[in-house]
Amino acid sequence: MNDNAESFSIPAEIKQEAQEATLRLLPAKSKRVYEKEMMEFDNWRKKMCLGEGAITEEVLLAYFFNVEKHFAASSTWTKYSMLKSMLKVHKGIDISKYEGKYTGEKPNRRMRKAPDVEYLQVKVALILGVAGACRCNELTFLDISDVQDKGSYLYVLVPDTKTNISRSFTVMEEAFSVNAVEMCRKYISLRPKAAGRRFFLRYVDGKCTTQHVGINTISKTFSKNKHFLFLGSLIQKVLRGME
């Protein structure tokens, strides 16, 4: 039965409906932010006199090149991730096939093959760090209650930012070369009952201890393990901002 399940191909329309349902489940505040990114892209496209059929690789490269002039790399990455989801759901356009030239984003086999018994915490830190463009101190003091499992995605609240303004982001299942949601869920399941409120705990030989992870450890995670993710210029700028 498992073999049949693995060989069964899910129809494209079912995947599309599932993605659309996931976006509908987003909290109202997050949904508005996603819709705002889509509106900004549509407004830019209309300003450039580009029709619906003009959403091509060249157009997207030009758009994000323009965005990067006005926003920090971390903000550009966040805007890119949200627009990527919206285009796939509402216009049926998968821009992942265009990502190589702009972000250098290619599924990295090293991240999939690296044993979880040694690298699970590293993977989770990189996933949350890049998905939310988080600073090291934000990840260090992330509370376990700030990461909410919504089933097909994770909703992450970042209350303590440099500007003292709370923000949030989502982690989708297919955002990386691994199932990011399952990866984070596995890490959470390994927490000892006596663990405190901090999300990141010391991870040794496939087990979490009760000891909190410090900011220096988080910083070294990004500087030493960025090869697990992407090699593109945009992602490298985001990671440098986290160190």
Where are the chain's structural domains? Answer: 2-102, 109-242
Inter-residue contact 158 to 132 (CB < 8 Å): yes
What residue type is 229 in one-letter code?
L
Most confident by average pLDDT, 54-58, 117-121, 209-213: 209-213
For residues 154 and 237, what is the distance between their CA atoms, to the nearest angstrom? 24
Q: State yes or no: pLDDT of 185 exceeds 90.
A: yes
Residues facing 167 on adjacent strands: 158
Inter-residue contact 181 to 153 (CB < 8 Å): yes
For residues 222 and 232, what is the distance between their CA atoms, to the nearest angstrom? 15
Q: Which pLDDT score is estimated for 146?
A: 94
Mean pLDDT of 80-100: 74
Domain range 109-242, CATH architecture? Orthogonal Bundle (1.10)
Q: Which residue did the predictor score with more confidence, 95 or 183?
A: 183
Output the pTM of the full model: 0.60
Q: Which pLDDT score is estimated for 230?
A: 44
What residue type is 169 in one-letter code?
F
Q: Which residue did the predictor score with more confidence, 107 or 41?
A: 41
Q: State yes or no: pLDDT of 184 exceeds 90.
A: yes
Q: Locate 25 and state its tokens.
A: 């489940």
Collapsing DSSP to helix, strand or coil, 208 comes out as strand
Q: Which pLDDT score is estimated for 94?
A: 75
Q: Which pLDDT score is estimated for 73?
A: 61
Beta strands 153-158 and 147-149: pairing type? antiparallel
